[in-house]
């Protein structure tokens, strides 16, 4: 029995280490060790998120002012979903566009095909949607991403500092319609306090 308990403890510690490494590598050192238990959300919001996690498909769109913990929440979701999917991906919008620009500058491969390869995981998080200035090319790339995930009903998290109306102006009606489709879960916390300013 003691050997079984020791073995279980070792397995749990190894899993926790792998999760922390995943959070560090994908999101950043600051977010290693993030857990949903540490995310401070209103009870009703937590209930909506729990329902979405159980459902395992469609979009979770989390809108809110800078500093309320959206990226921390994304890192915590990586821990929650660890081992539940064959492939998990985290993208920050800035990093995704940087990767696509490299494809263009190197003149290697098909850009849309590369985008598909970068965003075809079973579970994906896309942080800071529409945080960059949007031109026609970026708008089309984001639509391609959103549309493919939407049509496949793949569980996808999108976060943004923008409001629904601001996203409509930034992305256009096609992307907006898919992001805010009825079956998706929408969280809006634009009035929440900036946790960075509070030293959290």
Q: For 3-46, write each residue's pLDDT tens digit.
A: 666 677 788 788 888 889 989 998 999 999 998 888 888 888 88
Distance of alpha carbon 50 from alpha carbon 36, whole angstroms: 10
Token pair in block for residue 21: 């490494």
Residue 83: pLDDT over 80: no
**If pLDDT is split at 50, 70 and 90, which confidence band does 156 have?**
very high
pLDDT (mean) for 167-191: 94
Decide: helix, strand or coil at residue 125: strand
pLDDT at position 198 is 57
pLDDT at position 107 is 66
Which of 51-60, 96-105, 159-168 has the largest mean confidence? 159-168
Question: Cα–Cα distances in Å, from 90 out to 40, 109, 150?
Answer: 21, 22, 17
Residue 112: pLDDT over 70: yes
Distance of alpha carbon 80 from alpha carbon 74, whole angstroms: 10
Query: What domains, with CATH codes, occur in the chain?
Result: 2-189 (3.40.50.300)
pLDDT (mean) for 65-78: 90
CB 75 within 8 A of CB 23: yes
pLDDT (mean) for 138-146: 95
pLDDT at position 181 is 97
Q: List, in sequence order, every residue forming a beta bridge with 124; answer none if it has no partner.
A: 89, 156
pLDDT at position 139 is 93
**If pLDDT is split at 50, 70 and 90, which confidence band does 155 have?**
very high
Residue 169: pLDDT over 80: yes
Nearest to 41 by CA among 29, 32, 53, 30: 53
Rounded to the nearest integer, the mean pLDDT of the chain is: 87
Strand order in the sheet with 59-64: 88-92, 123-127, 156-160, 59-64, 185-189
Residue 193: pLDDT over 60: no
pLDDT at position 80 is 82
Burial of 145 (0-12, 13-18, 19+ CB in 10 A): buried
């Amino acid at each position: 029995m003691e050997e079984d308990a020791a073995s279980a403890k070792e397995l749990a510690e190894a899993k926790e280490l792998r999760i922390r490494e995943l959070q560090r590598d994908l999101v950043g050192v600051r977010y290693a060790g993030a857990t949903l238990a540490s995310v401070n959300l209103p009870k009703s919001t937590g209930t909506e998120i729990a329902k979405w996690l159980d459902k395992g498909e469609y979009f979770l769109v989390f809108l809110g002012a800078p500093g309320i913990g959206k990226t921390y929440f994304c890192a915590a979701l990586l821990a929650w979903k660890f081992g539940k999917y064959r492939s998990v991906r985290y993208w920050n919008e800035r990093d995704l566009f940087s990767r696509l620009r490299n494809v263009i500058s190197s003149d290697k491969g098909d850009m849309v095909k590369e985008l598909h390869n970068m965003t075809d995981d079973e579970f994906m998080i896309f942080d800071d949607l529409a945080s960059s200035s949007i031109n026609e090319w970026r708008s089309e790339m984001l639509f391609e991403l959103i549309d493919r995930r939407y049509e496949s009903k793949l569980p996808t998290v999108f976060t943004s500092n923008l409001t629904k109306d601001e996203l409509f102006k930034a992305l256009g009606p096609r992307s907006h319609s898919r992001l805010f489709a009825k079956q998706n879960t929408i969280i809006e916390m634009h009035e929440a306090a900036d946790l960075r300013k509070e030293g959290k």
